[in-house]
Chains A and B, each alone.
Chain A
């Protein structure tokens, strides 16, 4: 029974396209996150939602738009993809967003922009 799942696992697309990544958690957590891990393996937070409400929005280009239809789902839509968007994107969840609880990560989505 997968705790945090993401689809797709791999995404290869052309520059300028629009794509979405989906995330679901079945842990009953209130908070969900999107992270980007670049080629140097540095993991950086992009967004955080608590009970469908945006609570963290790092300096991410507005081509990236997260959407949380309910607290178990957090999707990431990316418009006008650029070469620099190539990375692994991880979804995560935690009981709350206070930084005191462990985070559970999904398997990642490797995005390659050609």
Chain B
């Protein structure tokens, strides 16, 4: 069965350092991979989308990579700030050409940036 795992349940990073979160998947060939941020008591908020034929995507201090050979995505936050503390979710979909249109979410990583 399809499985999406995010590296660790919780990650503590010193302020100013780069936080790197990992999303690994098995028994899946996603066409699209998305990253979301979720704060306590709130719904997830979309951050970035990367396609299977894209190696890397950037948005301000965020960078996402997508390696379909390793079946892995890395999510980086550079110059991390306490305000970046949240749970980060990766989500995969097959896209319209794969007949798998639903978004399947990973287990999430709770990131804490320590001042």
Contacts and interface: CB of A to CB of B under 8 A. Distances in A.
Contacts of A90: 43-44
How large, as a class, is the contact surface on chain B?
A: 20 to 34
A41 B49 contact: no
Interface string B87-101: 101000111100011
Contacts, number: 63
Contact of A102 (B31, B49, B89): B49
Contacts of B107: 40-42
Interface string B23-52: 000000001101000100111111001000
B91 to A, nearest CB: 8
Given A42-B107, A43-B89, A99 B101 contact: yes
B11 interface: no
Given A102-B46, A106-B43, A41 B87 contact: yes
A92 B89 CA distance: 15
B43 A56 contact: no
A60 interface: no
A58 B105 CA distance: 14
A99 B93 CA distance: 5
Contact of B43 (A41, A97, A102, A107): A107
A97 B42 contact: no
Contacts of A42: 105, 107-108
